[in-house]
Structure 1
């Protein structure tokens, strides 16, 4: 698989320079991780603030991670191995394996000693997102995020590890997925990884029929309509947190899953009913390349677009 780096900001800061937070004293997580790990991500999708998802495959690590402007949540996907983390006078020794998570709270620093190569998926989460989700979920003011080292949490681990495979090279889809994942994981962190675990308010039912129709019309639009989670929620007059819950309650699918299914149906119709090339279909549907489109199509159908076309005709 080729390395893929996606950004939604048109005013991104080049990673050749150190991108800083507004206070100017901490690098963003993607920049600090690139420095420490000494490589480029296998796959990464970030927004203009540096928040997002990154999949890294790196060599053994023996270095200090400097304070960053994001919370960093990591899930491990590789050989089982022991590791050591030092924060001041505190030493944590843990075992990296699937099903555990590591959390580096915003602004904290520690030395990591990892003896073997690592395959890890990381989430870069701003404190503003954690606070917004806490407000929207009526969970109260969030307490400090706890530092975790190889901490058992299969739910968070599974969500993060699956995230890297869901990035499709399609900006609207990837943006929507990333926003949903960040809100979902923020909810999980509030409930399981703060000094005072939060209680999340229950769901409030589905969307009103007219509101649901407007949301679906926006998702189905072939124009350059904004299909970000923020735009969908604003049009519905709801917070992002409650919009996602209500949309899934109404349709059985998250907004991202609904749009992904819609894109697949569009692709199938074009492959079956037109003579458009696979390249032109990829461009029409917003994929970054024919390769990205073919990979996304195969992931959902088990076939390449060309093989599916031959069978469908």
Structure 2
């Protein structure tokens, strides 16, 4: 949106402002993805000078921010006082978008942000067999290395969304949502998740769909719908049934098909990589080494 501001000469100027009050011109990172119940964003600025952000109250829900850099300073203005916070690397903040916000930002920042609505929080809690949650506890500068590591795993998908696996994005954002609800949901203690498994028919249906989409261009929601299950129930049941997440199972099947092609054809390794759903030979080699313990070329020669 455009917001009127004033230049040093007193002349009005139109400045493009994002939904969190930042000047878009000051951002060197401004990326967005949609995940399982979450909107994922990355906002980064090299500006070392003081800049002020402000947003009006809205019904958008909550935002969870993960700092990838150390040294960012933020002075937040409350109704009758102000507080100053220095962010360490991998520290987080949670704030309600239902409250007006005003803060002075100083020094560079690079935040991974997760915006979630109250309705989505309730869905995440229900699918994880937790007590209902529609509110998150607010905090600033809290250390959460688990959430930080989960968030960082989304950076390649934000950088190259056209190459990202939908199955991977859905699976990872579902894990992030569950972690946030478990750790920061404003609720009484909940029960442990029930053990759930897929029926043999559901398991076969899900695996067949995954195999028909080796590039990962199928979502968790689509797999769950085919099995007549909720997204969250399907994720837990697939893992209980197979011992793997859907994405892990997909990678295993990609490698199994790659082994067959390496053994039975003279196709170049780069051709095998593409035909088995990998983005390129480098990606294929990394996964192959992790699963098999050696490179595709070495495995082919020894086989």
Do both share a fold (TM > 0.5)?
A: yes
1:57 maps to 44
Alpha-carbon distance in 1 for matches of 2:100, 2:185: 18
Alpha-carbon distance in 1 for matches of 2:262, 2:118: 44
Alpha-carbon distance in 2 for matches of 1:133, 1:93: 32
* Aligned with 2:33 (options 32, 40, 45): 45
Pair 91,168 (structure 1): closer, same or farther in 2 beyond 3 Å: closer
Instruction: Report the 3-state secondary structure (helix = DSSP H, G, I; strand = E; otherwise coil) of the residue aligned with 2:195.
Output: coil
* Aligned with 1:275 (options 228, 253, 267): 267
2:69·2:90 contact (CA, 8 Å) conserved in 1? no
1:293 maps to 280
Q: Deviations over 1:241-293 (max 9, x none)?
A: 121112112222211222234345545655673536847954x5667xxxx53
Alpha-carbon distance in 2 for matches of 1:158, 1:251: 25
The Cα shift of 1:226 comes to 7.0
Aligned residues: 277
2:133 maps to 142
2:6 maps to none
Alpha-carbon distance in 1 for matches of 2:20, 2:232: 29
Q: How does 1:1-313 map to 2 (within 5 A)?
A: 31-33=18-20, 35-36=22-23, 38-39=26-27, 41=29, 44-46=32-34, 51-60=38-47, 62-67=51-56, 69=60, 71-165=62-156, 169=160, 174-197=165-188, 199-222=190-213, 227-266=218-257, 273-275=265-267, 278=270, 282=274, 284=275, 293-294=280-281, 296-297=283-284, 299-301=286-288, 310-311=297-298, 312-313=300-301
1:191·1:200 contact (CA, 8 Å) conserved in 2? no
Q: Deviations over 1:157-189 (max 9, x none)?
A: 222123324669576963223322333222222
Instruction: Report the 3-state secondary structure (helix = DSSP H, G, I; strand = E; otherwise coil) of the residue aligned with 1:206.
Output: coil
Q: Which moved more, 1:188-197 or 1:125-134?
A: 188-197
Q: Deviations over 1:37-68 (max 9, x none)?
A: 5325375423699x432334322462224256
Pair 223,247 (structure 1): closer, same or farther in 2 beyond 3 Å: closer
Q: Which moved more, 1:226-235 or 1:135-144?
A: 135-144
2:9 maps to none
The Cα shift of 1:149 comes to 0.8
The Cα shift of 1:216 comes to 1.0
**Structure 2: stretches of 5+ with no match in the other structure:** 3-16
Instruction: Report the 3-state secondary structure (helix = DSSP H, G, I; strand = E; otherwise coil) of the residue aligned with 1:32.
Output: coil
Instruction: Report the 3-state secondary structure (helix = DSSP H, G, I; strand = E; otherwise coil) of the residue aligned with 1:259.
Output: helix
Larger Rg: 2
**Structure 1: stretches of 5+ with no match in the other structure:** 1-16, 19-29
| TM-score normalised by length of structure 1 | 0.70
The Cα shift of 1:230 comes to 1.1
Q: Deviations over 1:109-139 (max 9, x none)?
A: 4233332212322223233321212233343
Pair 222,196 (structure 1): closer, same or farther in 2 beyond 3 Å: closer
